[in-house]
Amino acid sequence: MTSLSGLSRRALLGSAGAAGLAVGVAGGALGQQALAAPGPADDGAAVLGLAAIPFHGPRQAGILQPAQARVQLAAFDLADGAGRDGLRKLMQQWSATAARLARGEEAPSAENQIALDAGPCSLTFTFGFGASLFDRTGLTDRRPAGLTPLPDFPGDAIDRARSDGDLWVQIGSDDALVAFHALRVLQRQAAGLATLRWQMTGFGRTPGATPHPMTGRNLMGQVDGTNNPKPGQDGFEEKIFTGGAGWLNGGTYAVVRRIRMLLDNWESLPTDRQERVIGRRKSDGAPLSGGTETTAVDLAARGADGALAVAADAHIRVAAPASNGGATMLRRGFSYADGALADGSPDAGLLFVAFQADPMTGFVPVQRKLARGDGLSRFLRHESSGLYAVPPGAPEGGYVGQTLLD
């Protein structure tokens, strides 16, 4: 815990507007990293704006922490001629800026005062390197094997202009202005070294929106994330983080997909049909095989009529690790809503982010199976895609990617 006297000017300004809020922990990281000293007026409840997550550490922030209420995802392409030295300079500057902003301080350069009156609001930065970056910096021989391009999957409708990229960043925060400000600062600091390739904005449940911590819902109204693997579970470290002696040791890989939901079609289904497609009750997320949300699904269970309780093409059956040789990913998804398409249908859905030690044994086999036999696939369109190597975290005084670039 940190006393108010040790907080930055920006964080103190943020606390003035947030004082008195009774904050839950349903969507953010307040339960892990609340820096506000409890006072008599708040009964020990963390103040939303003062929740801070350290940037430095053995692993990058924004992977193991609970998903925040807002996210900015973006990819950049390195400028021609920037090379390895330009990339090193950029990552040094971005890392220094991320550390300051995560503490609630002003940016060291390109500060635009957008978030001047806000605290850190659980701000996190996660940086990744695309396969193309290694050719552009003369580091082809150091490109990890896991950055093999993702294959084409049945039903994909990928827009390459909104996919891939040399550099990827995930910026999470419990405040939309804080997240936008952070990305805007990085973009301005990249001038001459890298240009923005694509940008996407997502959202989740705001901390305190539910009376107690609950698994979030997606735009289909389904409880989403029940079976996400958790730190401490058997095999978690090996399935999510990379090993070995190379520069990526302790890092991970991120698969990023923009998945549009065909909401008009989905919402025309009665609730019981929606539940059969997913394999869970919509009201509480419990599997149709019985129990509560956290009850392990019984894929062999049958109803009174002898039919499978969880249909053969139900999403939770097809996606289950047991159906995919134990393939495991740590998902960190956000919803998005970008208005309407030309036909009036919603341009809305899921910004899917998944971390794993090896995409070829994690995401790829699961997505292949989903594309072939998941009943939910009729209501989804995968419209952008990216795969990135996510380096380990930076120590104090260091920068993300230092194990590769120095």
- DSSP state letters, 157-181: ---GGGS--SEEEEEEESSHHHHHH
Task: Cite the active site residues.
Answer: 224
Cβ 356 vs Cβ 239: under 8 Å: yes
Phi-psi label, residue 57: left if phi above 0, alpha if psi -120 to 50, beta otherwise: left
Q: List the helix and strand counts (H, then E) for the chain.
A: 10, 9
Percent of the chain with pLDDT over 90: 84
Q: How far apart are CA 56 and CA 395, in angstroms?
A: 5
In this predicted model, what pLDDT tens digit does every residue of 89-143 receive, in sequence order? 999 999 999 999 999 999 999 999 999 999 999 999 999 999 999 999 999 999 9
What b/e string do you get for 131-140 counting C-beta neighbours within 10 Å, with b at 16 or more?
Answer: bbbbebbebe
In tens, the pLDDT along 162-207 reads 999 999 999 999 999 999 999 999 999 999 999 999 999 999 999 8
C-beta of residue 133 within 8 angstroms of C-beta of residue 87? yes
Question: CA–CA separation, 90 vs 85, rounded Å?
Answer: 9
Cα separation of 113 and 107, whole Å? 9
Quick one: tokens of 151?
A: 């294959």
Mean pLDDT of 18-42: 36
DSSP 8-state secondary structure symbol assigned to residue 395? P
Residues in the chain, overall count: 406
Query: Which residues face 75 on adjacent strands?
Result: 168, 198
Assign 40 to helix, strand or coil: coil
pLDDT by residue (tens digit) across 275-329? Answer: 999 999 999 999 999 999 999 999 999 999 999 999 999 999 999 998 899 999 9
**Which residue in this structure is represented by tokens 């990744």?**
128
Contact 171, 124 (CB under 8 A): yes
Give residue 245's pLDDT band: very low, low, confident or very high (50, 70, 90): confident
